[in-house]
Amino acid sequence: MTQPVPPRTSAHKPYLDAIRATLQAAFCIENFESQVVERHNKPEVEVKSSKQLLLNPVTISRNQNERILIEGSVNSVRISIGVKQADDLEKILCKRLMRFMMQRADDFHILRRKPIPEYDISFLITNFHAETMYKHRLVDFIIYFLEEIDKEISEMKLAVSSRARIMRTVATIVSISLVLLFVILCIQEDGIFKFHPSLMAVSYLGFMFQAINIFSVDNTSRSSSISKRKQILIHSLFQVGSIICSIIAFTAIYLRKEQGNKSHFTSWHGLIGLTVFIWSLLQSTGGLLLTILQRYIRSLGLTHAKLRIYHATSGVLLFTMSCFVIVLGLASNWFKTKMPDGKIIYSGIFYLLTSKTIVGASSGMATEIINHMKSFPSGYLVAYLISLNFYQHFVDFLEEEEARTTCSRCIAEFDA
């Protein structure tokens, strides 16, 4: 007889000992032929043809999320396991791992294809399994599975968190590099126009990116010194810097247009840029009210958590639109004279967009799909090539529109 599998921790031992004793008692099963069809045998724990053939189900719980349900009958035992899931990341990892196992239920004879509701995975052991396998080996396997599933999910979570920290570090380096590049391109420009592209880059690619990025630190990598209140304070400081820079940049381009007696907001870059600027002011005001008026919000019956999610989602969309405005600016004549090939800047902006989309999509299918895409470098390569192709067509379209507008203006001046 094999030795029992030793538990991983002393705190885990009473939980596993209770499960082992319950399983050893529940595995006293025998053949019980169907009373309706001759030479036919069905697991009574599944069909439940008679209450006299069923045993009282036993639930052993370590905490609210980690539990096991053992349902016995005269000829079968059904074991349903609820795996510990502390956060959304563990839920996604657990769901993937269980789906991977249940897709191979044909080779895993005691595994049930579909788990019992409110549980993650279920095993069905009949008298035929007990006759062809050692009962103590079945018990050891269940105990070993309970130990290893927690260990496997923890290791997967650490791997994902480590990769996420690397991606955030690279994104920060890309953000700083883009800001420095815009500043270098504008530093030799005469007049007040140089404050517009440089400070807009500092505002959105610098401060706003870091304001969103401060909340992307997960529970496994968060330092004990960084509390939630400190995160909100740092986020607010970054947003204040973003608003100040965007106001100065907006004022600079407005005064430049006034000095040249040019019309305002006649291009897509100007119209969408104005929308993003107003959106930024409203977003900052909403975040300020959400922080200051917490008690008043609760007194009105509103849920502060839902409002915070709405604010975060709006912030990610705002960052996406600001990057789109910057991409529109890359097609301007001024930028083409400074840097004819803007694919490097476009690649950096695309990288920041993908990283912030992952931060914004913190739960649900969107996070699962994006994480699945990020697991394969080919996904980034394909998306990058498609985006470059789209960017080239988009630039060609803007050039055609600009040429058509210039031609129409010349014809109008000639007719006049």
Q: What is the pLDDT of residue 223?
A: 46
Residue 61, number of CB atoms within 10 A of its CB: 13
**Are residue 278 and residue 193 in the same domain, yes or no?**
yes
Residues whose CB falls within 8 Å of the CB of residue 412, separated by 6 or more in sequence, listed in order: none
Q: What is the tally of structural domains in the chain?
A: 2
Rounded Cα distance between 148 and 165, Å, is 25
The per-residue DSSP string of 313-345 comes to: HHHHHHHHHHHHHHHHHHTSHHHHHH-S--HHH
Helix (H/G/I), strand (E/B), else coil: 1: coil
**Are residue 110 and residue 198 in the same domain, yes or no?**
no
Q: What is the pLDDT of residue 374?
A: 43
Q: Where are the alpha helices (H) located in 27-134, listed in sequence order?
A: 44-47, 88-102, 127-132
How far from 379 is each of 172, 370, 376, CA to CA, in Å?
21, 10, 6
**Are residue 138 and residue 197 in the same domain, yes or no?**
no
The pLDDT tens digits for 265-274 are: 888 999 999 9
β-bridge mates for residue 123, sequence order: 79, 111
**Are residue 136 and residue 195 in the same domain, yes or no?**
no
Rounded Cα distance between 15 and 118, Å, is 20
Judge whether 283 lies within some domain.
Answer: yes
DSSP designation for 216:
-
Judge whether 6 lies within some domain.
Answer: no
**Are residue 136 and residue 194 in the same domain, yes or no?**
no
Judge whether 51 lies within some domain.
Answer: yes
Rounded Cα distance between 340 and 303, Å, is 50
Q: What is the pLDDT of residue 80?
A: 94
Helix (H/G/I), strand (E/B), else coil: 22: helix
CATH number of the domain within which 332 lies:
1.20.120.1770
Of 81, 80, 82, 79, the C-alpha closest to 64 is: 82
Judge whether 229 lies within some domain.
Answer: yes
Judge whether 167 lies within some domain.
Answer: no
How far from 200 is each of 58, 131, 275, 298, CA to CA, in Å?
63, 74, 14, 36
Domain boundary among 153, 173, 202: 153
Judge whether 318 lies within some domain.
Answer: yes
**Are residue 237 and residue 323 in the same domain, yes or no?**
yes
Judge whether 158 lies within some domain.
Answer: no
**Are residue 254 and residue 314 in the same domain, yes or no?**
yes
Rounded Cα distance between 138 and 295, Å, is 55
pTM greater than 0.85 (yes/no) = no
CATH number of the domain within which 26 lies:
3.30.1460.20
**Are residue 107 and residue 211 in the same domain, yes or no?**
no
C-alpha angle 201/205/206, rounded to 5°? 95
The DSSP element (H or E) to which 69 belongs, if any, is strand 67-72
Q: What is the pLDDT of residue 164?
A: 75
Q: Which region, left, alpha or beta, applies to residue 267 given φ > 0 means left and ψ of -120 to 50 means alpha?
A: beta
Give me Rg for the CA atoms of the chain.
31
Q: What is the pLDDT of residue 122?
A: 93
Domain of residue 147, residue span:
13-153
**Are residue 223 and residue 346 in the same domain, yes or no?**
yes
Helix (H/G/I), strand (E/B), else coil: 295: helix
**Are residue 207 and residue 58 in the same domain, yes or no?**
no
β-bridge mates for residue 79, sequence order: 70, 123
Domain boundary among 104, 125, 153: 153
**Are residue 207 and residue 138 in the same domain, yes or no?**
no
Residues whose CB falls within 8 Å of the CB of residue 247, separated by 6 or more in sequence, listed in order: none
Judge whether 259 lies within some domain.
Answer: yes
**Residues 209 and 319: beta-carbon distance below 8 Å:** yes
The DSSP element (H or E) to which 158 belongs, if any, is helix 135-186
Per-residue pLDDT of the chain (416 residues; tens, 9 = 90+): 444 444 455 567 889 999 999 999 999 888 887 766 666 778 889 888 888 888 899 999 988 888 999 999 999 999 999 988 877 778 888 888 888 888 888 888 889 988 999 899 999 999 888 888 888 899 999 999 988 888 888 888 888 778 777 878 888 899 999 999 999 999 888 889 999 999 999 999 999 999 988 876 554 444 445 777 888 899 999 999 999 999 999 999 999 999 888 888 888 999 999 999 999 999 999 998 888 887 777 766 677 777 888 888 888 889 989 989 998 888 888 888 888 777 778 778 877 776 644 444 444 334 443 444 444 344 444 454 455 555 555 555 555 666 666 666 665 665 55
**Are residue 121 and residue 207 in the same domain, yes or no?**
no
356 phi and psi, to 5 degrees? -75, -30
